[in-house]
Amino acid sequence: MQVRDRLILAAERRFAEFGALDTTLSDIRADVGVSVGALYHHFPDKSQLYRQVWEHALGDYQEHFWNVVRDSDTAEQGVKDAVRLHLSWVATHPSRATVLAGSKPPGIASNAANLEFFRNTMRWWRTHAGYGAVKALDFNVVYALWLGPAQEFSRLWLGGELEQDPTDVAEVLAEAAWQAVKAQDTKETR
């Protein structure tokens, strides 16, 4: 593993455990066992390192999320699998999830990879809405209904307020998400 990658992983663990403010570059450098020069060669300051850790975590999450949505055969499968993936990813990568639950570095919303992820996800959504499988909603409402409960459960679990593993509630939250976003059957609207 390259020095840069080792620094990102060490910083991820430190930022998750102690927060960005209480983590020092000296701590990260010592964890990896590199010189001051090696650290500054890759990251000129802590804010740049934090941004790289955050983008790494976000990219990993989005890649997994998009893979399950893209490969789904139906809207229902995509919605449910994305919720299951979210909870499984959080349980498997608690340090990354903790970093993502923290402060977002400036400019992330306009990051090219982030914009592409949201374009693809919303194109997938609009396609299924066009076929009448899911409700035609704007992105913020889709996001809140689809992943809001799973994110809140994850946040509480990551904060130590819940002992129950996120994967234990995956089926319940996946079904709830589907019920919240599916288009109404004609039988239900009569």
pLDDT in tens, 111-125: 889 899 999 999 999
Asked whether residue 106 carries a pLDDT value surpassing 90, the answer given is no
Asked whether the beta carbons of 92 and 51 are under 8 A apart, the reply is no
pTM for this prediction: 0.91
SS3 track for the chain: CCHHHHHHHHHHHHHHHHHHHHCCHHHHHHHHCCCHHHHHHHCCCHHHHHHHHHHHHHHHHHHHHHHHHHCCCCHHHHHHHHHHHHHHHHHHCHHHHHHHHCCCCCCHHHCHHHHHHHHHHHHHHHHHHHCCCECCCCHHHHHHHHHHHHHHHHHHHHCCCCCCCHHHHHHHHHHHHHHHHECCCHHHHC
Q: What is the pLDDT of residues 47-100, one digit of tens each?
A: 999 999 999 999 999 999 999 999 999 999 999 999 999 999 999 999 999 999
Q: What is the dihedral of CA 124, 129, 131, 134, to 10 degrees?
A: 110
The domain spans of the chain are 1-44, 57-189
Evaluate whether 180 touches 76 at the Cβ level (below 8 Å): no
- Look up the CATH architecture of domain 57-189: Orthogonal Bundle (1.10)
pLDDT at 186: 37
What fold, for 1-44? Answer: Arc Repressor Mutant, subunit A (1.10.10)
Does the fold of domain 57-189 match that of domain 1-44? no
Q: What pLDDT band is residue 107 in, cutting at 50, 70 and 90?
A: confident
Mean pLDDT of the chain: 93
What does the block give as tokens for 158? 């990551």
pLDDT per position as a tens digit, 152-165: 999 999 999 999 99
